[in-house]
């Protein structure tokens, strides 16, 4: 493709009115946040992951693993809703599906950036994933399928931008299938570890898929609200209906996810394994109780439900606030899940062992998390600047 044709494409898709001083400064700010934040992770390759991060032999998975899971799950949800809108043409969310495709790509990039600085040898993962595949490994399938998904979505989005509707549709379906399977394998990474009784079982893959539908709907509402906020204009009736539809989906899945969370905890108190019950105690009344009750339950579940009821799915600002709080709650929920599964000593009851292990993320881990947020914020602003007209097209496929 020549520079001339690229210029012609960007001339059709870009929104020059967003090249304001305020938005340019915000874009630069989030780019700096991305570079500085991810540089904290790069330091781990220089000084050692065991020095930079607060992971231990007893708790090898920390906050960066949960952050990776959060962004990957959110990407899956956005991809699923976009694919459903494209496949079943005429749905109300079709008008916002192009933006969902783009943000799905950006969210998975944030996930890759986070996990890339968390593991000690990311180059080996990329190399031996191809040279020495292991089809019996959930982690191998997860990485392969997420890689396939992001490739499909990038080609899909290129098809959307260039008007190759059939290519975009086919690749969008393939990407959504790959994302669902990858999300399931991500849950399987935890669910197939019998030594970690809080994770072990058939629930987590389905639980993660439910979380994907919840996070995806919340992100769709929030990103569309922000898109029109930075434009300082009201949504068109068609876009408003699309956002309301995403809000309805968020409401339904929010209720289902709340019920699933309740029964998942109850299961540990009606004959479940002792280690699993002790891990659940950590959430209910132990070291993770504030996280669980304040951030995960109140801020992430109950307050969003109240906001949605008060908004009656008419007040977009309240719906966007609910979506933001849902995402905050989901971020904490992924953290609680990862930590609760490791916080109980495997040889609980032996002399000298604590009731719970201690883990506090290091400042460098928080820096990497800020870098991931920077990736998403920077990607969002760049997308609105370069493809803003594509996101508001009324006809897609």
Nearest-angstrom CA–CA distance, 70 and 283? 19
**Crossing angle (nearest 10°) for helices 363-391 and 3-13:** 90
Nearest-angstrom CA–CA distance, 65 and 334? 9
Q: How many other CB atoms are there within 10 angstroms of residue 353's CB atom?
A: 14
Q: What pLDDT, on a 0 to 100 scale, did the predictor assign at position 397?
A: 42
CA distances from 200 to 85, 197, 219, 256 (A): 34, 5, 29, 21
Q: Which residues contact 259 (CB under 8 A, 6 or more apart)?
A: none
pLDDT tens digits for 238-266?
Answer: 999 999 999 999 999 999 999 999 999 99
Which tokens sit at 12? 């059709």
Nearest-angstrom CA–CA distance, 109 and 377? 12
- CA 181 from chain centre, in angstroms, equals 15
pLDDT tens digits for 270-297?
Answer: 987 889 999 999 999 999 999 999 999 9
Q: What pLDDT, on a 0 to 100 scale, did the predictor assign at position 89?
A: 65
Domain positions in the chain are: 3-391
Q: What's this model's pTM, rounded to 2 decimal places?
A: 0.95
Q: Which residues contact 338 (CB under 8 A, 6 or more apart)?
A: 61, 62, 63, 65, 66, 69
Which tokens sit at 28? 């630069």
Which residues of the chain, if any, have pLDDT below 70?
Answer: 1-6, 8-10, 89-90, 349, 351, 393-397
Q: What CATH number has the domain spanning 3-391?
A: 1.20.1630.10
Q: What pLDDT, on a 0 to 100 scale, did the predictor assign at position 396?
A: 44
Alpha helices (H) along the chain: 3-13, 21-47, 49-52, 63-87, 97-118, 122-131, 138-162, 165-191, 203-231, 237-266, 274-284, 289-290, 303-311, 316-340, 363-391
CB 280 within 8 A of CB 198: yes
Q: What pLDDT, on a 0 to 100 scale, did the predictor assign at position 381?
A: 97
Nearest-angstrom CA–CA distance, 322 and 302? 10
Q: What pLDDT, on a 0 to 100 scale, did the predictor assign at position 129?
A: 86
Q: Which residues contact 67 (CB under 8 A, 6 or more apart)?
A: 114, 331, 334, 335, 368, 369, 372
Q: What pLDDT, on a 0 to 100 scale, did the predictor assign at position 4?
A: 54
Q: Cα dihedral angle (327, 329, 330, 335), rounded to 10 degrees?
A: 130
Q: Cα dihedral angle (45, 51, 53, 54), rounded to 10 degrees?
A: 160
Question: 56 phi and psi, to 5 degrees?
Answer: -130, 175
Q: Which residues contact 181 (CB under 8 A, 6 or more apart)?
A: 141, 145
Alpha helices (H) along 120-236: 122-131, 138-162, 165-191, 203-231
**Residue linked to tokens 């007893």:** 58
Q: How many other CB atoms are there within 10 angstroms of residue 3's CB atom?
A: 7
Nearest-angstrom CA–CA distance, 386 and 19? 10
């Amino acid at each position: 493709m020549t520079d001339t044709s690229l210029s012609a494409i960007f001339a059709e898709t870009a929104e020059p009115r967003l090249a304001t001083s305020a938005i340019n400064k915000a874009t630069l700010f989030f780019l700096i946040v991305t570079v500085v934040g991810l540089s904290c992770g790069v330091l781990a390759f220089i000084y050692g992951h065991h020095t930079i991060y607060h992971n231990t032999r007893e708790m090898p998975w920390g906050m960066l693993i949960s952050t990776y899971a959060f962004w990957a799950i959110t990407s899956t949800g956005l991809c699923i809703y976009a694919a459903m809108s494209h496949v079943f043409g005429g749905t109300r969310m079709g008008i916002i599906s192009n933006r969902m495709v783009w943000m799905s790509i950006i969210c998975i990039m944030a996930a890759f950036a986070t996990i890339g600085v968390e593991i000690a040898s990311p180059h080996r993962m990329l190399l031996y994933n191809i040279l020495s595949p292991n089809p019996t490994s959930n982690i191998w399938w997860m990485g392969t399928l997420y890689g396939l998904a992001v490739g499909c979505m990038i080609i899909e989005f290129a098809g959307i931008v260039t008007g190759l509707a059939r290519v975009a549709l086919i690749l969008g379906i393939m990407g959504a299938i790959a994302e669902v399977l990858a999300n399931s394998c991500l849950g399987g990474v935890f669910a197939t570890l019998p030594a970690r009784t809080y994770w072990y079982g058939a629930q987590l893959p389905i639980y993660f898929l439910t979380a994907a539908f919840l996070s995806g709907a919340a992100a769709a509402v929030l990103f569309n609200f922000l898109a029109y906020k930075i434009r300082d204009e009201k949504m068109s009736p068609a876009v408003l209906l699309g956002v309301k539809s995403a809000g309805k989906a968020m409401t339904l899945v929010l209720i289902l996810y709340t019920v699933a969370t309740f029964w998942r905890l109850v299961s540990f108190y009606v004959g479940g394994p002792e280690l699993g019950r002790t891990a659940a105690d950590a959430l209910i009344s132990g070291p993770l109780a504030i996280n669980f009750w304040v951030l995960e339950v109140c801020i992430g579940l109950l307050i969003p439900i109240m906001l949605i009821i008060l908004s009656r799915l008419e007040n977009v600002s309240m719906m966007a606030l609910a979506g933001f709080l849902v995402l905050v709650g989901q971020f904490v929920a992924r953290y609680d899940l990862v930590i609760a599964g490791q916080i109980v000593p495997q040889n609980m009851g032996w002399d000298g062992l604590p009731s719970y292990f201690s883990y506090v993320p290091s400042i460098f881990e928080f820096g990497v998390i800020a870098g991931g947020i920077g990736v998403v914020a920077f990607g969002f602003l760049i997308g609105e600047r370069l493809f803003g007209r594509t996101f508001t097209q009324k006809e897609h496929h």
